[in-house]
Amino acid sequence: MEEDIREKIALKRYQVISPVLAEPARDQNEYFRQQAQREHNFHDGPKKVTVSTMKSWLRKYRKEGFDGLKPKDRSDRGRPRKANEQMVNIIGVKCKAYPGLTVQKLYEDLRGQSLLGEPPLHYNTILRIIKNQGWLSEKKRVDVRKAYEVDNVNELWICDFLHGPLIQSRKAILCAIIDDHSRVLTGYNFSTSETVSSLTIVLKEAFLSYGIPKRLYVDNGASFSSDLLAKSAALAGISLIHSKPFDSPSRGKVERFFRTVRERFLSSIRDIASISELNEAFHFWINEDYHHKLHSGIGQTPMERYNASLANIDVRRLSKAELDEIFLVRHERVVNNDATISFQGYLYEVPAAYIRQKIELRHPVDDHRELFLYDNGIRVGKIKLLDKRENARTFRPRNVPTDISFHEGRIKK
């Protein structure tokens, strides 16, 4: 299996288990049971995943990290599976004819009639087939919503974008991250786009200033659904949780903060000529007003509650170099015979040792020309643009001895 396929599968597996990485076992079990009822879009199409499989992914991720989620070749590849098509059809017919039977009773009847093969299929296999085919229906309310608040800072951060005013004929967009427990704004920045690049800048600054959160709660926008964010969260050990589509009330704290921004900040700014001026004004307002103003939802100022909670936790941090590495975008290329590769319309030089080999390239999300070469996950170094004139100045043809004399038209002895 190709490495890029294995990584796509691992990334999808991480996205499935990510929402409950930091949750207790009871919540994990409930979440896995819910996820087992729906189909997940993998690289080869939609499929359902069993509870036991998701639990095994969680164990592997905790033990081996992201690489533990990459699939390994099956030992039984090419051999028939135990439950063949005929057995699945028999189970389906029985479920249709006797919808009131429990799975245990159905299993006993099928085994008593010798319809499960020899040796017979295991009960868990029958249960998995019935669940995967949707022959058992469990209808539960999905519109229940309860107010929540985590116990300490850095347990849950909520991130979203707010569309602000026009600055120099371009809309200013705020990317903000709020800590659920303290309501402190851990990351923020106005820019002119709602891209993963804008999001990355805010996340990196927030992680450097306030540490690494256990969970990051976001919506389903393009930036939040990107592979880069999912991979970065996996490498940082963060549980990435997506809300349901069009369910902004589930992110009520950041939505309430945005209302405060409109009422108390945007309504009062005047004569802002650039995005940088807007960011300066917002930074002043956050640190001089919002963080030190009594918050009705918590009965304290956000900064008071944040500082009080710090004594109860150990803040997990990553260095700037580690964060830079985590947020690099990854690409693969095959090196040409002249030791060059093409990327984004430009030619780059790589060491001759990699001629005709597949290599991995990484670059910051906001600068695709800052390219680094990696070999088996180890940084080799930065590669530079091809400069043919410079190469011509340093090129020296080698004088190879020969027994042929072209001048005399004979072979030397």
Per-domain residue ranges for the chain? 3-69, 85-132, 157-310, 327-394
Spatial separation of the C-alpha atoms in residues 191 and 136, rounded to whole Å: 49
Residues 339, 341, 347, 348, CA torsion sign: negative
Give the integer Cα–Cα distance in Å for 231 and 89: 40
Min mean pLDDT across 66-75, 241-250, 262-271, 398-407 is at: 398-407
Q: What is the pTM of this model?
A: 0.64
Q: How far apart are CA 288 and CA 295, in angstroms?
A: 14
Lowest mean pLDDT among 29-33, 44-48, 196-200: 44-48
How far, in Å, CA of 36 to CA of 69, rounded? 18
State the CATH architecture for 327-394.
Beta Barrel (2.40)
Among residues of the chain, what percentage have pLDDT more than 90? 46
User: Which of 96, 121, 99, 97 has the alpha carbon at shortest distance from 110?
Assistant: 121
Those residues whose C-beta lies under 8 Å from the C-beta of residue 54, and which sit 6 or more positions away, are 16, 17, 32, 35, 36
Residue 126 in this model has a pLDDT that exceeds 80: yes
Q: Residue 383 in contact with residue 349, Cβ under 8 Å?
A: yes
Q: Which CATH number fits the domain 157-310, given the four candidates 3.40.50.720, 3.30.420.10, 3.30.930.10, 3.20.20.140? A: 3.30.420.10
**Would you place residue 408 in the very low, low, confident or very high pLDDT band (cuts 50, 70, 90)?**
low
User: For position 2, what pLDDT does the model report?
Assistant: 74
Lowest mean pLDDT among 14-18, 116-120, 175-179, 355-359: 116-120
Q: Which residues contact 75 (CB under 8 A, 6 or more apart)?
A: none
Separation between Cα atoms, residue 283 and residue 174, nearest integer Å:
12
pLDDT for res 120: 82
Q: With beta carbons less than 8 A apart as the criterion, state whether 122 and 87 touch.
A: no
Location of structure tokens 């100045």: 393
**Strand 372-375 with 358-364, pairing:** antiparallel
Q: Which candidate, 89, 82, 121, places its Cα nearest to that of 97?
A: 89
Report the pLDDT value the prediction gives residue 141, as an integer from 0 to 100: 45
pLDDT, one tens digit per residue, over 168-191 is 889 999 999 999 999 999 999 999
Q: Write down the pLDDT at residue 317.
A: 93
Residue with tokens 């294995």: 6
Tell me how far apart the alpha carbons of residues 191 and 173 are, in angstroms, rounded to a whole number.
5
User: What residues are paired with 384 via a beta bridge?
Assistant: 349
Q: Where are the beta strands (DSSP E) in 219-327?
A: 239-242
Q: Tell me: the pLDDT tens digits for 67-96? A: 889 887 655 443 335 678 888 888 888 888
Q: Mean pLDDT, the chain, as a whole number?
A: 85
Contact 370, 363 (CB under 8 A): yes
- Mean pLDDT highest for which of 135-144, 206-215, 324-333, 394-403? 206-215
Torsion over CA of 286, 287, 288 and 289, rounded to 10 degrees?
40
Cα–Cα–Cα angle for 230, 235, 238, rounded to 5 degrees: 70
Report the interhelical angle of 51-64 vs 3-17 (nearest 10°): 110
Query: Do residues 185 and 209 lie in contact, with contact meaning Cβ atoms separated by under 8 Å?
Result: no
Structural element, H or E, at residue 128: helix 123-132
- The token pair at 176 is 């903000």
